Structures are given as structure tokens and as C-alpha cells.
Amino acid sequence: MSGGSEEGGGFACGGPRPGTIVDRRPSGGGASGANGSYVVRDDEDERYYTFDYRQIVTEGFRTIRTGERVRFHISAASPGQAEFVIRLDQPDPAEYYR
């Protein structure tokens, strides 16, 4: 899975895009060894983009689960990367922290 380009080599780096988190890839980094990268599929053009927890826009603990719907921007500096990822489906805290 990789970021895509439009014909002619240009990338769609415009405004916010709707997407769905489709994968989490642990990297073994961080204090607990649980850091990793995520893969989001653009719901409109079905391209894939990666990002890490630093790109999740939220208060508190930055995490996200596979299957969650998000809104994101495509990075102008790295067109295969997502940035400013905002969760649209906020979990019920009782379910989330089991």
C-alpha cells in the first residue's frame, strides 16, 4: 500500500479528505515498544496514506483503531503521508478502556 499520484505526476494535496483506518504497523519504538504507523484509505479515491500518532489531532492520549473513520490532509511535503488526522467516531470510554 502506498500513497498515490494523479495522472501527470501531481498529487491531490487539497483540503480535508474522508478516510478509514485500515492497518496499524507496530515499529517497536517508544517506551513500551508499542509505537507504530497507521494506514488510512481515502474514502473518495481509495488511495492509501501512512501516518504516526503525532499526526492525530486530539486532546490527551493519541491513538486510533483499525476501522475508525477519520478526516485528514495529504502532506504537501510527503504526498504518501497523511497529516492532521481527526477521529470522527469517538469511542464510548467504557468500551474503549476495557
Q: What b-and-e string marks burial along 4-24, b requiring 16 or more CB atoms within 10 Å of the CB?
A: beeeeeebbeeeebebbbeee
Q: For position 42, what pLDDT does the model report? A: 97
CATH number for 17-96: choose from 2.40.50.140, 3.30.450.70, 3.40.50.300, 2.60.120.1570. Answer: 2.40.50.140
Higher pLDDT, 72 or 11: 72
Percent over 90 (pLDDT), the chain? 51
Domain residue ranges in the chain: 17-96
The pLDDT tens digits for 26-73 are: 776 656 656 679 999 999 999 999 999 899 998 877 888 899 999 999
Q: For position 36, what pLDDT does the model report? A: 78
Instruction: List, edge to edge, every strand of the sheet that includes 48-52.
Output: 48-52, 35-42, 17-29, 69-74, 82-87
Higher pLDDT, 72 or 92: 72
CA–CA dist 62, 44 (Å, integer): 25
